[in-house]
């Protein structure tokens, strides 16, 4: 079975004490997980080392960066390089989150460079893709997402794509009052996997974990994760509530 992931994105939330308390509760209350089940916690940069001490206590928990620079070390005030993340033992990083694309105008080419930087330093990217409401309403979501994948990922070799992680974010269903059904999630995940198959073949495509990032909560995780091409979730607000995220972890395919 493909790796199934519950990925928490804390964004710019929690003070240090709150972050430590949440991580401790999650690690303590999560029992044994199967080999193919993993938990990621993407935390604010200042907390990475403190939270990593906690996640290291559970073999299936990992801490992740929320972003990294597209450039190597140098005169880039405020940036965090892949080399810096590697030096403190970070193995995962979010790249191309919808908020980075929208608020910071991150282009496909920039994200391509970030993916390369991460892989160069043995950091696993969690590559985010997805369409806004206007694109969904125009029924152009497939073309939109395919271009995101093609422009930022399809320069990678089959070996680099094996076991890759992609997170699909239906931006139109996050904070808009509109809801994406589990069938809509499966439809897009299936399309993403078919797009990968067309480029790399079925063996590589079937190894890629595709997470759903559209307002995953405890009350919809089981239904979402039951879909054949949904391999877990990238969770925002619900990941800040211990019992909510614990339930989401427990909803991963076994």
Over pLDDT 70: what percentage of the chain?
99
On whether residue 222 sits in a domain, the answer given is: yes
pLDDT at 7: 98
Question: Residue 130 is part of which domain span?
Answer: 4-249
From 99, 106, 131, 169, active-site residue: 169
Tell me how far apart the alpha carbons of residues 102 and 233 are, in angstroms, rounded to a whole number: 21
How many domains does the structure of the chain reveal? 1
Tell me how far apart the alpha carbons of residues 162 and 208 are, in angstroms, rounded to a whole number: 6
Which residue stretches of 75-215 are H helix?
A: 82-87, 98-103, 108-120, 133-137, 141-153, 158-161, 182-200, 202-205
Catalytic residue check, 169: yes
CB 245 within 8 A of CB 239: yes
From 97, 99, 131, 189, active-site residue: 97
Q: Where are any strands of DSSP class E within the chain?
A: 4-9, 37-42, 61-65, 92-95, 124-129, 165-168, 209-212, 232-235
On whether residue 254 sits in a domain, the answer given is: no
pLDDT at 179: 67
Collect the ranges in the chain with pLDDT lower than 70.
Answer: 177, 179
pLDDT at 186: 97
CATH of the domain at 70: 3.20.20.70
Tell me how far apart the alpha carbons of residues 123 and 65 are, in angstroms, rounded to a whole number: 10
pTM for this prediction:
0.97
pLDDT at 41: 98
Catalytic residue check, 97: yes
On whether residue 52 sits in a domain, the answer given is: yes
On whether residue 12 sits in a domain, the answer given is: yes
On whether residue 165 sits in a domain, the answer given is: yes
pLDDT at 177: 64
Nearest to 63 by CA among 18, 101, 7, 21: 7
């Amino acid at each position: 079975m493909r790796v199934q992931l519950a990925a928490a994105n804390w964004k710019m939330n929690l003070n240090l004490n709150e972050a430590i308390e949440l991580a401790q509760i999650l690690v303590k209350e999560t029992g044994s997980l199967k080999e193919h089940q993993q938990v990621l916690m993407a935390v604010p940069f200042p907390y990475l080392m403190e939270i990593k001490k906690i996640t290291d206590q559970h073999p299936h928990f990992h801490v992740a960066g929320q972003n990294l620079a597209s450039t190597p070390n140098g005169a880039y005030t405020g940036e965090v390089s892949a080399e810096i993340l590697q030096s403190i033992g970070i193995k995962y990083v979010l790249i191309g989150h919808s908020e980075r694309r929208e608020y910071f105008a991150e282009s496909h080419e920039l994200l391509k460079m970030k993916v390369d930087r991460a892989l160069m330093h043995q950091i696993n990217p969690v590559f985010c893709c997805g369409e806004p409401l206007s694109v969904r309403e125009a029924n152009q979501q497939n073309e939109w997402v395919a271009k995101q994948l093609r422009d930022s990922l399809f320069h990678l070799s089959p070996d680099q794509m094996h076991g890759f992680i992609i997170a699909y974010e239906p931006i139109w269903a996050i904070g808009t009052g509109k809801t994406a059904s589990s069938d809509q999630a499966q439809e897009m995940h299936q399309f993403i996997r078919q797009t990968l198959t067309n480029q790399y073949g079925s063996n590589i495509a079937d190894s890629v974990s595709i997470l759903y990032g559209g307002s995953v909560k405890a009350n919809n995780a089981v239904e979402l994760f039951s879909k054949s091409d949904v391999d877990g979730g990238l969770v925002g607000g619900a990941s800040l509530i211990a019992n909510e995220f614990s339930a989401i972890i427990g909803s991963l395919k076994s």
